[in-house]
Structure 1
């Protein structure tokens, strides 16, 4: 199928009746679990066509909604956040729809706390009724399964969803806190009860976010509205970078969503979780992607800005979609010279960085950006999702992006105020780590992400927790046995030690000590891997020749070979808590665990979470010694 921008545009418009009563049904070809997906593929830099109404709703019709702010006062201050039903309007052409929210808002209130100030939050469950969305599983058939189209496509709602009680466990994503406060997925509470959590906030200034983490349910409950921002502030470091603040600092929570339709095919506003049923028994479904992009709970909003710099705290809370964010000017040309990356998941960089291309943001990743509008007075700019290999701002229905626009910035008049970032300051605590900074006795851990169906009892995406063994102790080749030849020429033999969430917990980390985690991707999908309770830095990303892996045996017949190191882009050189792992890559991170307790690490694709989650324990080193 042609990927020429004009041909794609015509195909979109030929299927549309443009206007408030029309629905555009964009085409999306299904991408198999092993289809190549890249978060960093270069985009074709060509002008994009002018935007047009699409998918039954006018773009840029509604102002961006800014969540309310809650600032606890005093060390040890208490804060109560109520989880409750509410009706939310996601577009002015749609009626209000039911959602589950924090304090009646989607996103929930932005909680702001100073670094080092203890806060105790009561997450009060006042929810009622069934999860407020429609879930359908469309059988796969001939042609393109329409998971990226509005409407149910004749599929009946999943009946089991109506019987699920409002059972929630709130996780503060990125928080350094004890295991008892982390929002353990099975320690959920029912309506009338509360979850009590304590957050020391003894960590770098960063953009965190909170969300429901109840076992088996996050792919529905986050979509239903249970997410919000949590900002840790450090004036010393933030002021040193001269960052915009007050009215010029705005959180942006991004997600893709789908909507149910009425008998005439018009969107109703009701949230729709539509996936493709790839295999009925045992059940295997596709990951969710939707044709509508929401920012702070509004579909394709606009924001009026002054010709000056603004700071945007951006979080991707999609189930699966990776956004590749690019700013375009009025002519559809990239305007990335106005963008500065100042921070990543877990805090600020030492100095702002000007991105050379689109900024990838996988599920659960965050970016701290400054956009300088001073040279765009009285103009309109667009933030778009750039599809790999397609001109920026152009629809890519074949690649699952029927509408690339994210939001619009309307720059006003007045005197421009340019952003003049200072040089790196000694007040910055950021230091870029290298492998030499990791202690020689650091614990080494291995996690392998095999292709779906690597085990007969696991037809879905899964991951293997590995242990290094003497090759003389195992049968090579054999199921679950992976050998890999590293750059230093050493061949390491790995044996699968655990796979399912309920398997024995074998990973025990010593509190306060460094570890290196190696994620080896053998599938071709991008998996955003999240480790709870810590921050890490990505030490390296290397290409692997996976030719030695045998799908039929579920192991290697010859050692995998490390081919070459790949340079780390700016957005991977800061402190992180999510790292993307692509097939044919070995990704190594360094982390230190300072808080004891029981935690998990998992893929943050919400449809993968159930089968790609494993527990680990952090305990004092002295306690660990008692086991010997």
Structure 2
């Protein structure tokens, strides 16, 4: 196999022959917004299939009436001391738009997204996750994928509470799956700071299918400090779970495949319909006052460039792992799969108006602002919390870790690796409990990869351009420009980082809390499956 970047350099003959479309699907908006000039990610082998969103029989978003459905708000579950929550994974149907037939989904608690678990710091939460799914999958399982071999049960599940600092047994390790008819009790200590967490399936080899089928929900962890800030709360706190999908005209989910029944996996999946809390182009009826929006990008592969149509500013008050040090005024924000944004928007000056939330030029939903006068006692303090920043002096060890993609476009359509290793290779990242490490993510690919570490929170130290060709020929890291510090909204605690192509992205984490084996991976679900995921071990 040739490495993917070198394949790109020699692929001109295929394009000239018409085998690869001349108009390639860029790796979503991140190609323009996030990646340095000239390093746009395109998956040539995948896109030889063409644009699946134009296939006959799929729902055309232009034919759906916008803003006719009310924004669904998932039910809230508040854990009671000493009493575990029970959440059932099962097949259900849900109407995603007024004009579409119901869609078959796999859900937690009977709806997509699943219930929002509202937990408190210092009060442990126990959840019994019951697997009542069918024994046969309704999406295309690829038995050539690691962990999804033909000798494995076709339907498996394990819940990962993304962003939680939990013991190894409760983390939702990809190989800890269990089959329909079984259940698993997880205990979440909730000892970390308030944050917007989320839960989703993590079963080895098929979690991309299980998540696409609907196995996703929010978990809001609160603490006394955050509750005392006076931020918008109650009905003025709205979860916004974003995820794109492809739908057939009969309402059923369409998950694209390669056309090879023995190897249906594709490197990336993009839908032409975006669900907001499980609804297409919904409308939220709001009052002319401040609202807090808990935004999650739960897509398999799509990045979102969020803004309001009228260009109004909003305040970012938190990222993946909780509050920022201070609010950041913004007019747009770019979220990769797995990332969260905690935003405050003020509708006070828009009484009687209609405000649309956009993904670049495409509307996602509308906020219909009421006419009546209301009292708003909420506020956004100038100081949110103390976020001490890591420096070079805090780091006891640095690791150089590559992000790799390989392809020959014949026998092996694509292989994604971290550090050049596959999932079952021996562990190479062994970390001593309590130590602080810098992980230097050397991106050798043409894509932006959202990298997620289980167990820990981290800070982005900087990103720096380097000579990719020289590194690939001699393993010499020669920087071609100065280090770029993260923008203000990325200077809080994170658990997903966008690693740009042509850049070395440095993150720093203290590996505290628990010993054991955890996972780190790309949060593009199709990349993670094949095999952009590795174990690390805290000892």
Map of 1:28-67 to 2, 5 A cutoff? 29-31=23-25, 37-40=31-34, 54-67=61-74
Q: 1:206 pairs with 173, 195, 199, which one?
A: 195
On the 8 A contact 1:284/1:460 being kept in 2, the answer is: no
Counterpart CA distance in 2 for 1:109 and 1:36 is 30
Deviation at 1:247, TM superposition (A): 0.8
Deviations 1:212-232 (A, max 9, x none): 100111111111110000010
TM-score (norm 1): 0.73
Deviation at 1:438, TM superposition (A): 1.5
2:398 aligned counterpart, secondary structure: strand
Deviation at 1:286, TM superposition (A): 3.7
Q: 1:570 pairs with 488, 513, 522, which one?
A: 488
Counterpart CA distance in 1 for 2:100 and 2:263 is 38
On the 8 A contact 1:37/1:524 being kept in 2, the answer is: no
2:455 aligned counterpart, secondary structure: coil
On the 8 A contact 1:544/1:563 being kept in 2, the answer is: yes
Map of 1:206-605 to 2, 5 A cutoff? 206-240=195-229, 242-260=230-248, 267-275=249-257, 285-329=266-310, 334-335=311-312, 337=313, 339-355=314-330, 357-386=331-360, 393=361, 404-415=362-373, 420-424=379-383, 428=385, 430-436=386-392, 438-439=394-395, 442-453=396-407, 460-465=414-419, 499-550=421-472, 555-556=473-474, 559-593=477-511, 594-605=513-524
Aligned residues: 486
Deviation at 1:188, TM superposition (A): 0.8
Counterpart CA distance in 2 for 1:521 and 1:41 is 11
Aligned to 2:14: none
Pick closer, same or farther for the CA change 1:283–1:302 going to 2, 3 Å.
closer
1:55 aligned counterpart, secondary structure: helix
On the 8 A contact 2:324/2:489 being kept in 1, the answer is: no
Counterpart CA distance in 2 for 1:308 and 1:220 is 39
* 2:156 aligned with 1:167: yes
Aligned to 1:7: none
1:530 aligned counterpart, secondary structure: strand
Pick closer, same or farther for the CA change 1:28–1:295 going to 2, 3 Å.
farther
Deviation at 1:358, TM superposition (A): 1.7
* 2:535 aligned with 1:615: yes
Structure of larger gyration radius:
1
Map of 1:189-200 to 2, 5 A cutoff? 189-200=178-189
Deviations 1:233-287 (A, max 9, x none): 01322422x2100111111100110001xxxxxx22111112556x999776341
Pick closer, same or farther for the CA change 1:193–1:204 going to 2, 3 Å.
same
Pick closer, same or farther for the CA change 1:281–1:602 going to 2, 3 Å.
same
Counterpart CA distance in 2 for 1:197 and 1:95 is 36
Cα root mean square deviation, aligned:
2.8
TM-score (norm 2): 0.84
Unmatched tracts of structure 2, length 5 or more: 1-20, 37-59, 143-148
On the 8 A contact 1:180/1:598 being kept in 2, the answer is: no
Deviation at 1:565, TM superposition (A): 1.6
Pick closer, same or farther for the CA change 1:559–1:176 going to 2, 3 Å.
closer
Pick closer, same or farther for the CA change 1:536–1:521 going to 2, 3 Å.
same
2:479 aligned counterpart, secondary structure: strand
Deviations 1:336-388 (A, max 9, x none): x2x11010000111221111x420000010000111101111110111111xx
Aligned to 2:9: none
Unmatched tracts of structure 1, length 5 or more: 1-26, 43-52, 137-159, 261-266, 387-392, 394-403, 466-497, 620-628
Pick closer, same or farther for the CA change 1:281–1:100 going to 2, 3 Å.
closer
Q: Which moved more, 1:608-617 or 1:55-64?
A: 55-64
Deviations 1:283-341 (A, max 9, x none): 76341001001001101111000000011111001010000100123xxxx11x2x110
Map of 1:145-160 to 2, 5 A cutoff? none
Deviations 1:124-181 (A, max 9, x none): 1111253345789xxxxxxxxxxxxxxxxxxxxxxx99x9643101100001001111
